[in-house]
A = this chain, B = another copy of it.
Amino acid sequence: MTVSRVLNEHAGVKASTRARVLAAVAELGYRPNSMARALVTGRSRVLGVVGFDTRLYGPATTLFGIEQAARDAGYTVRVTTLESTGQNSGEEVMRDLMSESLAGVILAAPHDWAAGALPHLTKGTPVVVVDVDIEQESAPVVGIAQHAGARQATEHLLSLGHRTVWHVAGPVDWPSAQARETAWRTTLTEAGRKAPAPLRGDWTARSGYEQGRRLVRRKDVTAVFAANDQMALGVLLALREAGLDVPGDVSLVGFDDIPEAAYFWPPLTTVRQDFDEAGRLALDLLVDQIEGAGVRDGLTVVEPELVVRASTGPAARN
């Protein structure tokens, strides 16, 4: 029908006819049925997004960025959130996704999980991965340059005169945690310093506190780099309880720059990640694929930025 042509902005409709159609549409409050459209075209304007523990600030913000950008681009977002790795196999989740004729998929699970799930997508489905190092680059990846950020954090502490830097790391199965840890170790080694054994946390302030209590038992700790701001907060509390001053006795750097970090006591030196931007970028890449502008393969990188506040200072103690 001519209505379809008008609404899809196909050429070959007289201006006067278009006007009449639009008038009727407005009068009747007509909205095209997206199901019928998806059925016949085989493609919907719905994007699948798989997120991982979206209660956390980073994932939540990325999701937010994706959703906002999707709406601007005329797409709709269907979200699946995973809480833990074991919970749902990649195969199962992907098969569920595939039966919904989605226009494309964003894997925003900053987790090894994503790498395992990727092969189960039906061939040809546009896909973008956020924040994971996929070995075989079978999909475009948007990542934040974790290495660069962790390097800046570590170098900042070294430049203040600290002999070495302790690290409270994130969970082993999160690639971003791995990247931060590796970069921290490399930076120390390159500077000719010995990297102490990292302390393993799980992103929560609680785990940061627990590892912080282990740190204060040693007398030689003057600089700590925590893999995220929440863990840094926990470390901060442990240091305080042990009567240590920050940054007088110990300097501390976090990662993420959550909105609260500037209001910690002392305000936290940290590495800002633009999660929002990563989400928007991922969406742009996906839409390019869907609308035929071609697959821009490889890695798109968002640069993090060291934000120096009051939790770091020159090495004094020791």
* CB of A300 closer than 8 Å to a CB of B: no
Contact yes or no, B208 A263, CB < 8 A: yes
* A38 interface contact, C-beta 8 A: yes
Task: Compute how far the CA of A208 lies from the CA of B263 in the bound complex, rounded to whole angstroms.
Answer: 9
Question: Do B31 and A35 touch (CB < 8 A)?
Answer: no
A63 within 8 A of B: yes
Inter-chain CA distance A46–B77, complex, in Å, is: 11
A38 cross-chain contacts in B, Cβ below 8 A: 35
Kindly report which residue of chain B lies nearest to residue A36, judged by CB atoms. Answer: B39
Q: Which 10 A-B pairs have the closest CB atoms?
A: A31-B99, A205-B263, A60-B60, A35-B38, A35-B39, A67-B81, A237-B263, A55-B61, A205-B260, A234-B263
Nearest residue, chain B, Cβ from A240: B265
Query: Out of B63, B77, B259, which one reaches A205, CB within 8 Å?
Result: B259
Q: With an 8 A cutoff between CB atoms, is A57 at the interface?
A: yes
| A42 and chain B: residue at smallest CB distance | B35
Q: Does A14 contact B (CB under 8 A)?
A: no
Question: What would 9 more interface pairs be, CB under 8 Å, given A35-B35, A79-B79?
Answer: A35-B39, A55-B60, A76-B78, A205-B263, A206-B259, A206-B263, A230-B263, A237-B264, A265-B265
Interchain nearest-CB distance for A35 vs B (Å): 4
Q: Taking CB as reference atom, which chain B residue is nearest A95?
A: B31
Pick from B33, B53, B265: contact of A99, CB under 8 Å: B33
Give every chain B residue within 8 A of A83 (Cβ-Cβ). 68
A54 at the interface (CB under 8 A from B): yes
Q: Looking across the interface, which residue of chain B has its beta carbon closest to that of A49? A: B79
A1-36 residues with Cβ-Cβ distance < 8 A to B are 29, 31-36
Interface pair B67/A60, CB less than 8 Å apart: no
Bound CA span A31–B141, Å: 28
Inter-chain CA distance A142–B93, complex, in Å, is 29
Cβ of A101 within 8 Å of any chain B Cβ, yes or no, is yes
24 contacts between A and B (CB under 8 A): A33-B99, A34-B100, A35-B101, A36-B39, A53-B64, A54-B64, A54-B67, A55-B60, A55-B64, A60-B60, A64-B81, A67-B81, A71-B80, A76-B78, A76-B80, A76-B100, A78-B79, A204-B259, A205-B259, A206-B259, A230-B263, A236-B265, A260-B260, A265-B265
